[in-house]
Amino acid sequence: MISVMLVDDQDLIRLGLRTLLENENGFTVAGEAGDGLGAVDLARELHPDVILMDIRMPGIDGLEATRRITSTDGLDDIRIIVLTTFERDEYVFDALRMGASGFLLKDTPPAELLRAITTVADGGALLDPRATRKLIREFVERGPRRTAPHPHLDQLTDREREVVSLAAEGLSNSEIAERLVVSPATARTHVSRAMLKLGARDRAQLVVFAFQSGLAG
């Protein structure tokens, strides 16, 4: 049973998410919070497997709440999925940098959301391809941004750099394989090796490293 905590300042959204989860086998709603401070306190109390986190909320926002939760000893195993409308939402990249395991658009179909929760609960990461590609466009439109190459970037092979760049576009392993004309298993191996060399805990953090190192966009 995967325990999920819901964090959103809109009652209707929390109600919809609760109704969805309570009508599916294998999920339970641990609790709800309507703001960032409440989310941090409730995470300490309930220690859910996964938190569905809105970004823009009163008090402290979802970004700061994510940072506090993922940087707290004993809570760093909680997986956080950021939910966003992504209408010029410039905070998604920072949420990933702060430790979120991925993000989804709020209009994501219910079945995809359930799969996403299962994925991150199992230790994986997720990046909505539509949102990831829009994130890159907005990142580029903001103009030049100082990069801070990862200290182990030089350990990547040329192919691994290419794979990291494609992962940052939101491509799945199968899509990377198709783009590079290699097998999915080979693409998966390249991604895994790049994550290992860079010390990325999941695919979301790999994308953060790609942006920071100038491999994305």
Same domain for 131 and 179? Answer: no
Q: Would you state the pLDDT for residue 7?
A: 97
Point out the domain boundary residue: 139, 168, 184: 139
DSSP helix/strand/coil, 26: coil
Lowest mean pLDDT among 66-75, 94-103, 131-140: 131-140
Indicate whether 136 pLDDT > 60: no
Q: To the nearest whole number, what is the mean pLDDT of the chain?
A: 85
What digits encode the pLDDT tens for the residues 160-210?
999 999 988 878 888 899 999 999 899 999 999 998 999 887 777 788 888
Quick one: which H or E segment has residue 37? helix 36-46
Residue 146 included in any domain: no
Domain that holds residue 104: 2-139
Same domain for 161 and 97? Answer: no
Domains of the chain: total: 2
Query: Would you say the pTM of this structure is higher than 0.85?
Result: no
Query: What's the order of all strands across the beta sheet hosting 126-127?
Result: 27-33, 2-7, 50-54, 79-84, 102-105, 126-127
Please report how many Cα atoms fall inside a 13 Å half-sphere around the Cα of residue 48, on the Cβ side.
28
Q: Would you state the pLDDT for residue 33?
A: 96
